[in-house]
């Protein structure tokens, strides 16, 4: 078990290093930096102009829909990966390429129905 995990040690090190650098930078700037607060400095940054209105604006529900659809198709994408990885080996082992291919195609076809539905419902049509 530890043998497999050794592959992750570089990853762990980079995680550790990243958080170390981030916290060090934050703490040192907090400790060493002078704090002079003026009105301009405390203003929300909007490319140098005076801010227009509140930054906490309501989002259109359209963003939400797109985000939701993204999740669903994201799940589809992640499920494609194990299939793609084992495709060749499994097709050989089962002796039936078409079967392994069809398995995923049925999955994709079902979601394609959803895609047609979403499209026809006009979710991607933002001008309306």
Partner 1 sequence: MTFQQLLFIGFAALVLGGGIAVVLLRNPLYGAFALITSFVGLSALYVMMGAQFIGAAQIVVYAGAIMMLFVFVIMLLNVRADEERPPRHRFLVWLAAPLALLLSAGLWLAVAGVQGDRAPSGEAGTVERVGKNLMTRYLLPFELTSVLILLAVVGALHLAKREKE
Partner 2 sequence: MLPLLVELPPLPTLRDTAFIMPEIILTLFAGAALVLDVALPRSKKHLTAYFSLIGLAFVAIALAQQVAMTASLLPISAFYGMLFIDGLSVVFRFVFIVAAAFSILYSIKYLEFEREQRGEYYALILFSTLGMMFVATSGDLIALFVSFELMSLSVYVLVGYFKRDKRSNEAAMKYFLTGIFSSALMLYGLSLVYGVTGHTNLGLISETIAGYVQGGTAESGDPRLLLMVALVLVAAGLLFKIAAVPFHMWAPDAYEGAPTTVTAFMSVGPKAGAYVLLARMLLFALAPMREMENLPGWAALLAVVAVLTMTVGNLAAVTQDNVKRLLAYSSIAHAGYILLGIVSGTDMGYQGVAFHIMTYTLMNTGVFAIIIALHRQGVIGENLNDLNGLFSRAPSAAVLMLIFILGLAGIPSTAGFVGKFFLFGSLIQSGKPWLTYIAIIAVLNAVVAFYYYARFARAMFLNAPSENIADASPLLLAPSVRITLTLSAIAVLFFGIYPQPLINVADIVAQSITTVYAQSSGIALR
Rounded least distance, CB 34 to partner 1, Å: 28
Residue 8 main-chain phi, psi, to 5 deg: -90, -5
Q: Which residue has the tokens 């259109």?
A: 60
Residue 98 main-chain phi, psi, to 5 deg: -60, -40
Rounded least distance, CB 23 to partner 2, Å: 34
Rounded least distance, CB 55 to partner 2, Å: 29
Q: Which residue has the tokens 């140098």?
A: 48
126 binds, among partner 1, partner 2, none (CB under 5 to 8 A by kind): none
Give yes or no for a contact between 73 and 111, defined as CB atoms under 8 angstroms apart: yes
Considering only residues 77 through 116, tell me which ones interact with partner 2, judged by CB under 8 A. Answer: 93-94, 96, 99, 110, 113-114, 116
Single out the residue of 20, 23, 51, 121 in contact with partner 1 (rule: CB under 8 A). 121
Distance CA 50, CA 11 (A): 43
Element holding 64 (H helix, E strand): helix 61-94
Residues that bind partner 1 (CB under 8 A): 1-5, 8, 12, 56-59, 61, 63-65, 67-72, 74-76, 78-79, 81-83, 85-86, 89-90, 94, 100, 103, 106-108, 110-111, 113-114, 117-118, 121, 123, 128
């Amino acid at each position: 078990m530890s043998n497999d995990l050794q592959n992750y040690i570089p990853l762990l090190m980079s995680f550790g290093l990243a958080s170390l650098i981030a916290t060090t930078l934050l703490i040192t700037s907090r400790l060493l930096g002078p704090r002079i607060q003026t009105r301009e400095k405390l203003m929300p940054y909007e490319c140098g102009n005076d801010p227009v209105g509140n930054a906490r604006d309501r989002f259109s529900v359209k963003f939400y829909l797109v985000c939701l659809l993204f999740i669903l198709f994201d799940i589809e994408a992640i499920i494609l990966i194990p299939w793609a990885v084992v495709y060749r080996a499994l097709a050989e082992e089962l002796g039936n390429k078409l079967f392994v291919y069809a398995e995923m195609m049925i999955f994709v076809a079902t979601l394609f129905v959803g895609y047609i539905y979403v499209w026809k419902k006009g979710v991607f049509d933002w001008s309306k």
